[in-house]
Amino acid sequence: MLKALEKTHHTADPDAPSFLVDQVAELLCCDPSVRSGEQYASNAMTAAAGRVWSVLGDRRLYDRTAVDELRAELTWLTGALGPLNHSTPVRERAQSKEPAYEAAYETALSALESDRYFRLVADLQQFCSTPPVRQPRRRLLYMG
């Protein structure tokens, strides 16, 4: 006689959702400091965005189709912040580097003031409140 037993494989880190919430909160906490031109804020925001991007990539936990767009938007955000990460802040730069810093700051500020950024923030908050957890694969084991 054959019996079908259902077995699931789901070995994702159980702390990933709380880590994700913490990193989204960190990303949002950096926002005002980046806007005001604080020295290391864009680096901190980029790092938090990178950690969110990484956690969202956990294929064992999250449905890939649900996170691909969020990850693409996080890549866009880090790209907008990137030049500011490598620029010298106002009080430390030489006159020759001023236009590069101003352009980088303007790019970052434009990104943070865009509808695209606010959609990303809303989508991340929605994702954290009701994460689309991946449905585990089911395997049938037949025992006689």
Q: Where are the domains of the chain?
A: 19-129
pTM for this prediction? 0.78
Using DSSP, state whether 139 is helix, strand or coil: strand
Task: Assess whether pLDDT exceeds 60 at residue 90.
Answer: no
CA 10/CA 1 separation, integer angstroms = 29
Determine the pLDDT at residue 92.
Answer: 56
Helix axes 41-56, 16-35, angle to 10 degrees: 150
Q: Tokens 């352009």 sit at which residue?
A: 103
Q: What is the crossing angle of helices 115-129 and 98-112, to 10°? A: 50
Q: What is the mean pLDDT of the chain?
A: 82
Burial of 30 (0-12, 13-18, 19+ CB in 10 A): buried
Residue 80 and residue 44 in contact, taking contact as beta carbons nearer than 8 Å? no
Residue 58 pLDDT: 86
